[in-house]
Chains A and B, each alone.
Chain A
Amino acid sequence: AQTVTQSQPEMSVQEAETVTLSCTYDTSESDYYLFWYKQPPSRQMILVIRQEAYKQQNATENRFSVNFQKAAKSFSLKISDSQLGDAAMYFCAYRPETSGSRLTFGEGTQLTVNP
Chain B
Amino acid sequence: EPEVTQTPSHQVTQMGQEVILRCVPISNHLYFYWYRQILGQKVEFLVSFYNNEISEKSEIFDDQFSVERPDGSNFTLKIRSTKLEDSAMYFCASSDGGTFSQYEQYFGPGTRLTVT
Contacts and interface: CB of A to CB of B under 8 A. Distances in A.
Nearest to A42: B109
Interface stretch (B18-26, B43-51, B63-71): B43-51
B45 A104 contact: yes
Contacts of A91: 42-43
B75 interface: no
Contacts of B91: 45
B95 interface: yes
Contacts, number: 60
Contacts of B33: 102-103
A105 interface: yes
A50 B103 contact: yes
A100 B97 contact: yes
Interface string A61-77: 00000000000000000
Interface residues of B, number: 29
A103 B97 CA distance: 14
Nearest to A92: B42
30 contacts: A33-B103, A35-B104, A37-B107, A43-B89, A43-B109, A43-B110, A44-B107, A44-B110, A45-B43, A45-B110, A50-B103, A50-B104, A95-B103, A99-B97, A99-B102, A100-B48, A100-B50, A100-B55, A100-B95, A102-B45, A102-B48, A103-B33, A103-B43, A103-B105, A104-B45, A105-B42, A105-B43, A105-B44, A107-B41, A107-B42
Interface of B: 30-31, 33, 35, 37, 41-45, 48, 50, 55-56, 58, 89, 91, 93, 95, 97, 102-107, 109-110, 112
